[in-house]
């Protein structure tokens, strides 16, 4: 599993960071950073929730 973010769509609203702070971080520059592009499978439920709750649908999961 690989986390993919479309940064053209992303508004850096930090909803994903609230769900999975181990993977997503919005920094003081107001940009989203992906801390772990290939998180462990145990993180899948949180990543799927972040995908579903992203208001701009900027997050997706790519299966490697």
- In terms of phi and psi (left: phi > 0; alpha: psi -120 to 50; beta: otherwise), the region of 30 is left
Residue 33 bridge partners (DSSP): 25
CB atoms within 10 A of CB 7: 10
Q: For a pLDDT cut of 70, what percent of the chain falls above it?
A: 100
Query: DSSP 3-state assignment of 47?
Result: helix
pLDDT, tens digit, 9 for 90 and up, residues 13-39: 999 999 999 999 999 999 999 999 999
Question: Which structural domains are found in the chain, ordered by start?
Answer: 2-62 (3.30.70.20)
What residues have CB less than 8 Å from 18, skipping those under 6 apart? none
Distance of CA 19 to the CA centre of its chain: 9
């Amino acid at each position: 599993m690989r986390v993919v973010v479309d940064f053209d769509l992303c508004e850096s609203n930090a909803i994903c960071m609230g769900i999975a702070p181990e993977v997503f971080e919005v920094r003081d520059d107001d940009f989203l950073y992906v801390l772990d592009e290939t998180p462990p499978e145990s993180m899948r439920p949180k990543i799927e929730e972040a995908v579903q709750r992203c208001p701009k649908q900027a997050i997706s999961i790519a299966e490697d």
